[in-house]
Amino acid sequence: MSAERRRPLIAGNWKMNLLKGDAAELCRVLKRGLAAPPATSARVVVFPSFPLIPVVARELVDSDVAVGGQDLHPGDKGAHTGDVSGSQLTDAGCTWALCGHSERRRDHHEGDDLVAAKVAAAARHHLSPMICLGETRDERQAGQTFAVLERQLRSALTVRLDAFALAYEPVWAIGTGDTATPEMAQEAHAFLRRLLGELLGEGAATGVPILYGGSATPDNAPGLIVQPDLDGFLVGGASLDPQKFLGIIRCSG
Protein backbone atom coordinates (compact mmCIF):
# COMPACT_ATOMS: atom_id res chain seq x y z
CA MET A 1 0.00 0.00 0.00
CA SER A 2 1.39 3.40 -0.84
CA ALA A 3 1.37 6.38 1.49
CA GLU A 4 -1.34 7.93 -0.74
CA ARG A 5 -3.70 5.14 0.19
CA ARG A 6 -3.20 5.44 3.94
CA ARG A 7 -5.86 7.76 5.22
CA PRO A 8 -4.35 10.58 7.29
CA LEU A 9 -4.99 10.40 11.03
CA ILE A 10 -4.77 13.54 13.13
CA ALA A 11 -4.93 13.27 16.91
CA GLY A 12 -5.22 16.00 19.51
CA ASN A 13 -3.67 15.26 22.90
CA TRP A 14 -5.20 17.81 25.25
CA LYS A 15 -3.09 16.61 28.19
CA MET A 16 -4.16 18.10 31.58
CA ASN A 17 -5.90 21.12 30.07
CA LEU A 18 -9.39 22.62 29.74
CA LEU A 19 -12.52 22.62 31.85
CA LYS A 20 -15.88 21.28 30.70
CA GLY A 21 -17.12 24.54 29.15
CA ASP A 22 -13.91 25.14 27.14
CA ALA A 23 -13.81 21.53 26.03
CA ALA A 24 -17.42 21.64 24.77
CA GLU A 25 -16.73 24.90 22.91
CA LEU A 26 -13.55 23.48 21.36
CA CYS A 27 -15.57 20.48 20.11
CA ARG A 28 -18.25 22.73 18.61
CA VAL A 29 -15.71 24.90 16.77
CA LEU A 30 -13.92 21.79 15.55
CA LYS A 31 -17.16 20.24 14.27
CA ARG A 32 -18.14 23.46 12.47
CA GLY A 33 -14.67 23.72 10.94
CA LEU A 34 -14.73 20.12 9.73
CA ALA A 35 -18.21 20.56 8.23
CA ALA A 36 -17.10 23.62 6.22
CA PRO A 37 -15.42 23.17 2.82
CA PRO A 38 -12.90 22.05 1.71
CA ALA A 39 -13.70 18.52 2.89
CA THR A 40 -10.89 16.58 4.50
CA SER A 41 -10.24 12.88 4.13
CA ALA A 42 -8.40 12.79 7.47
CA ARG A 43 -9.63 10.80 10.43
CA VAL A 44 -9.62 12.89 13.60
CA VAL A 45 -9.43 11.81 17.24
CA VAL A 46 -9.14 13.83 20.43
CA PHE A 47 -7.73 12.71 23.78
CA PRO A 48 -9.29 14.76 26.61
CA SER A 49 -8.47 14.14 30.26
CA PHE A 50 -10.78 11.63 31.97
CA PRO A 51 -13.34 13.98 33.59
CA LEU A 52 -13.95 15.68 30.22
CA ILE A 53 -14.67 12.49 28.28
CA PRO A 54 -18.47 12.42 28.87
CA VAL A 55 -18.84 16.07 27.78
CA VAL A 56 -16.64 15.61 24.74
CA ALA A 57 -18.27 12.32 23.73
CA ARG A 58 -21.69 14.00 23.96
CA GLU A 59 -20.60 16.99 21.84
CA LEU A 60 -19.03 14.76 19.21
CA VAL A 61 -21.70 12.06 19.09
CA ASP A 62 -23.03 13.08 15.67
CA SER A 63 -19.59 13.78 14.18
CA ASP A 64 -16.80 11.70 12.70
CA VAL A 65 -14.38 12.82 15.41
CA ALA A 66 -13.40 9.93 17.67
CA VAL A 67 -12.54 10.15 21.36
CA GLY A 68 -9.75 8.41 23.24
CA GLY A 69 -8.33 8.08 26.74
CA GLN A 70 -4.87 9.44 27.52
CA ASP A 71 -4.02 6.34 29.56
CA LEU A 72 -5.55 3.15 30.98
CA HIS A 73 -4.74 0.60 33.66
CA PRO A 74 -3.50 -2.79 32.42
CA GLY A 75 -6.04 -4.64 34.57
CA ASP A 76 -9.75 -5.01 33.90
CA LYS A 77 -11.07 -3.78 37.28
CA GLY A 78 -10.37 -3.78 40.97
CA ALA A 79 -8.48 -2.01 43.72
CA HIS A 80 -6.44 0.55 41.76
CA THR A 81 -7.21 3.95 43.22
CA GLY A 82 -6.94 6.76 40.72
CA ASP A 83 -6.77 4.48 37.70
CA VAL A 84 -9.18 3.98 34.82
CA SER A 85 -9.89 0.70 33.03
CA GLY A 86 -10.24 0.00 29.35
CA SER A 87 -13.87 -1.03 29.78
CA GLN A 88 -14.62 2.29 31.54
CA LEU A 89 -13.12 4.14 28.57
CA THR A 90 -15.14 2.11 26.08
CA ASP A 91 -18.28 2.59 28.18
CA ALA A 92 -17.67 6.37 28.18
CA GLY A 93 -17.55 6.46 24.38
CA CYS A 94 -13.83 6.07 23.65
CA THR A 95 -12.50 4.08 20.74
CA TRP A 96 -8.79 4.89 21.21
CA ALA A 97 -6.26 4.84 24.06
CA LEU A 98 -2.84 6.48 24.19
CA CYS A 99 -0.23 4.02 25.44
CA GLY A 100 3.29 4.89 26.53
CA HIS A 101 3.24 8.64 26.07
CA SER A 102 6.67 9.97 27.10
CA GLU A 103 5.09 12.16 29.79
CA ARG A 104 3.66 9.01 31.41
CA ARG A 105 6.98 7.21 31.00
CA ARG A 106 8.67 10.22 32.68
CA ASP A 107 6.10 11.29 35.32
CA HIS A 108 4.89 7.82 36.29
CA HIS A 109 8.01 5.76 35.54
CA GLU A 110 6.15 3.63 33.01
CA GLY A 111 8.50 1.04 31.56
CA ASP A 112 8.23 -1.03 28.40
CA ASP A 113 6.52 -3.97 30.12
CA LEU A 114 3.80 -1.80 31.60
CA VAL A 115 3.25 -0.10 28.25
CA ALA A 116 2.91 -3.55 26.63
CA ALA A 117 0.33 -4.57 29.26
CA LYS A 118 -1.63 -1.38 28.58
CA VAL A 119 -1.58 -2.04 24.84
CA ALA A 120 -2.94 -5.54 25.50
CA ALA A 121 -5.63 -4.16 27.85
CA ALA A 122 -6.71 -1.63 25.23
CA ALA A 123 -7.07 -4.40 22.66
CA ARG A 124 -9.11 -6.55 25.08
CA HIS A 125 -11.56 -3.69 25.49
CA HIS A 126 -11.92 -2.87 21.79
CA LEU A 127 -9.85 0.30 21.99
CA SER A 128 -7.28 1.01 19.29
CA PRO A 129 -3.98 1.69 21.01
CA MET A 130 -1.96 4.67 19.82
CA ILE A 131 1.50 3.55 20.88
CA CYS A 132 3.94 6.42 21.53
CA LEU A 133 7.65 5.92 20.94
CA GLY A 134 10.61 8.25 20.84
CA GLU A 135 14.15 8.96 21.94
CA THR A 136 15.37 11.59 24.38
CA ARG A 137 17.87 14.25 23.33
CA ASP A 138 20.69 12.38 25.09
CA GLU A 139 19.77 9.14 23.34
CA ARG A 140 19.77 10.88 19.94
CA GLN A 141 23.12 12.52 20.64
CA ALA A 142 24.53 9.15 21.69
CA GLY A 143 23.42 7.61 18.38
CA GLN A 144 20.86 5.37 20.09
CA THR A 145 17.69 6.56 18.34
CA PHE A 146 17.04 3.38 16.35
CA ALA A 147 17.98 1.10 19.24
CA VAL A 148 15.48 2.89 21.50
CA LEU A 149 12.71 2.80 18.88
CA GLU A 150 13.35 -0.89 18.23
CA ARG A 151 13.23 -1.75 21.94
CA GLN A 152 10.05 0.27 22.48
CA LEU A 153 8.25 -1.17 19.46
CA ARG A 154 9.25 -4.82 19.91
CA SER A 155 8.26 -4.75 23.58
CA ALA A 156 4.89 -3.05 22.95
CA LEU A 157 3.57 -5.65 20.50
CA THR A 158 2.83 -8.77 22.53
CA VAL A 159 -0.72 -9.49 21.36
CA ARG A 160 -2.52 -9.49 18.02
CA LEU A 161 -3.95 -6.03 17.34
CA ASP A 162 -6.75 -5.48 14.86
CA ALA A 163 -6.26 -1.73 14.65
CA PHE A 164 -3.56 0.45 16.11
CA ALA A 165 -1.33 3.40 15.31
CA LEU A 166 2.20 4.39 16.21
CA ALA A 167 3.17 7.92 17.19
CA TYR A 168 6.84 8.76 16.75
CA GLU A 169 7.40 11.52 19.28
CA PRO A 170 11.02 12.50 19.82
CA VAL A 171 11.00 13.49 23.49
CA TRP A 172 13.21 16.52 22.80
CA ALA A 173 10.57 17.89 20.41
CA ILE A 174 7.54 17.63 22.73
CA GLY A 175 6.35 20.99 23.96
CA THR A 176 9.71 22.58 23.18
CA GLY A 177 9.09 24.26 19.83
CA ASP A 178 11.95 22.12 18.42
CA THR A 179 10.46 20.00 15.65
CA ALA A 180 12.19 17.09 13.95
CA THR A 181 13.10 18.02 10.38
CA PRO A 182 11.05 16.23 7.73
CA GLU A 183 14.14 14.14 6.88
CA MET A 184 14.72 13.12 10.50
CA ALA A 185 11.05 12.22 10.92
CA GLN A 186 10.95 10.22 7.67
CA GLU A 187 14.10 8.32 8.65
CA ALA A 188 12.51 7.29 11.97
CA HIS A 189 9.14 6.48 10.40
CA ALA A 190 10.72 4.37 7.65
CA PHE A 191 12.70 2.51 10.30
CA LEU A 192 9.52 1.82 12.29
CA ARG A 193 7.68 0.69 9.15
CA ARG A 194 10.49 -1.74 8.25
CA LEU A 195 10.47 -3.13 11.77
CA LEU A 196 6.67 -3.49 11.68
CA GLY A 197 7.14 -5.43 8.45
CA GLU A 198 9.55 -7.77 10.19
CA LEU A 199 7.20 -8.23 13.16
CA LEU A 200 3.81 -8.38 11.44
CA GLY A 201 4.51 -8.99 7.77
CA GLU A 202 4.72 -6.46 4.96
CA GLY A 203 1.00 -6.39 4.24
CA ALA A 204 0.00 -5.52 7.78
CA ALA A 205 2.84 -3.03 8.21
CA THR A 206 1.86 -0.94 5.22
CA GLY A 207 -1.60 -0.30 6.69
CA VAL A 208 -0.46 0.97 10.11
CA PRO A 209 -0.65 4.77 10.46
CA ILE A 210 2.57 6.22 11.84
CA LEU A 211 2.00 9.70 13.24
CA TYR A 212 4.57 12.33 14.05
CA GLY A 213 4.34 14.24 17.35
CA GLY A 214 6.46 16.99 18.84
CA SER A 215 5.69 20.70 18.40
CA ALA A 216 3.59 20.09 15.28
CA THR A 217 2.00 23.32 14.00
CA PRO A 218 0.16 24.46 10.85
CA ASP A 219 3.51 25.95 9.74
CA ASN A 220 5.66 22.83 9.96
CA ALA A 221 2.97 20.22 9.21
CA PRO A 222 2.94 20.68 5.39
CA GLY A 223 6.65 19.80 5.10
CA LEU A 224 6.24 16.75 7.33
CA ILE A 225 3.04 15.29 5.90
CA VAL A 226 4.53 14.88 2.40
CA GLN A 227 7.06 12.38 3.77
CA PRO A 228 6.11 8.93 2.46
CA ASP A 229 5.95 7.15 5.82
CA LEU A 230 4.34 9.97 7.79
CA ASP A 231 0.57 9.52 8.01
CA GLY A 232 -0.56 12.26 10.35
CA PHE A 233 0.13 13.97 13.64
CA LEU A 234 -0.28 13.60 17.37
CA VAL A 235 -0.67 17.25 18.31
CA GLY A 236 -0.33 18.59 21.83
CA GLY A 237 -0.23 22.37 22.33
CA ALA A 238 -1.62 23.30 18.91
CA SER A 239 -4.64 21.01 19.38
CA LEU A 240 -5.97 23.36 22.08
CA ASP A 241 -6.41 26.07 19.46
CA PRO A 242 -9.12 24.85 17.06
CA GLN A 243 -7.89 27.04 14.20
CA LYS A 244 -4.36 25.64 14.50
CA PHE A 245 -5.66 22.09 14.87
CA LEU A 246 -7.93 22.55 11.83
CA GLY A 247 -4.96 24.00 9.93
CA ILE A 248 -2.97 20.82 10.62
CA ILE A 249 -5.94 18.63 9.64
CA ARG A 250 -6.49 20.53 6.39
CA CYS A 251 -2.90 20.37 5.23
CA SER A 252 -2.92 16.62 5.84
CA GLY A 253 -5.44 15.86 3.12
3-state DSSP assignment of residue 101 = coil
- Amino acid identity at 224: L
Select which of 110, 125, 169, 189 is catalytic.
169
Candidate residues 51, 111, 175, 228; the one interacting with ligand PGA per rule CB under 6 A: 175
The rounded distance, in Å, linking the Cα atoms of 31 and 65 is 8
> Contacts with ligand PGA: how many residues (CB under 6 A)?
13
When asked if residue 214 is in the footprint of ligand PGA (CB under 6 A), the reply is: yes
HSE toward the beta carbon, residue 88, CA cutoff 13 A: 17
Cβ closest to ligand PGA, residue 125 vs residue 244: 244
Cβ closest to ligand PGA, residue 54 vs residue 237: 237
Least distance between ligand PGA and beta carbon 92 (Å): 21
When asked if residue 174 is in the footprint of ligand PGA (CB under 6 A), the reply is: yes
The rounded distance, in Å, linking the Cα atoms of 177 and 32 is 28
The question of whether 183 is a catalytic residue gets the answer: no
Under 8 Å between Cβ of 216 and 176: no
The question of whether 108 is a catalytic residue gets the answer: no
Select which of 73, 101, 125, 189 is catalytic.
101
User: Using the 8-state DSSP alphabet, how is residue 251 labeled?
Assistant: H
Cβ closest to ligand PGA, residue 80 vs residue 184: 184
The rounded distance, in Å, linking the Cα atoms of 147 and 192 is 11
Cis peptide leading into residue 8 (ω within 30°): no
User: Using the 8-state DSSP alphabet, how is residue 172 labeled?
Assistant: G
Under 8 Å between Cβ of 2 and 227: no
* Contact string 64-103 vs ligand PGA (x = CB under 6 A): ----------------------------------------
The rounded distance, in Å, linking the Cα atoms of 37 and 40 is 8
When asked if residue 133 is in the footprint of ligand PGA (CB under 6 A), the reply is: no
Cβ closest to ligand PGA, residue 108 vs residue 203: 108
Which listed range, 29-37, 157-165, 204-212, 233-241, lies at the site for ligand PGA (CB under 6 A)?
Answer: 233-241
The rounded distance, in Å, linking the Cα atoms of 73 and 166 is 19
When asked if residue 169 is in the footprint of ligand PGA (CB under 6 A), the reply is: yes
What residues are annotated to the active site?
101, 169
Sites of contact with ligand PGA (CB under 6 A): 13, 169, 174-175, 213-216, 234-238
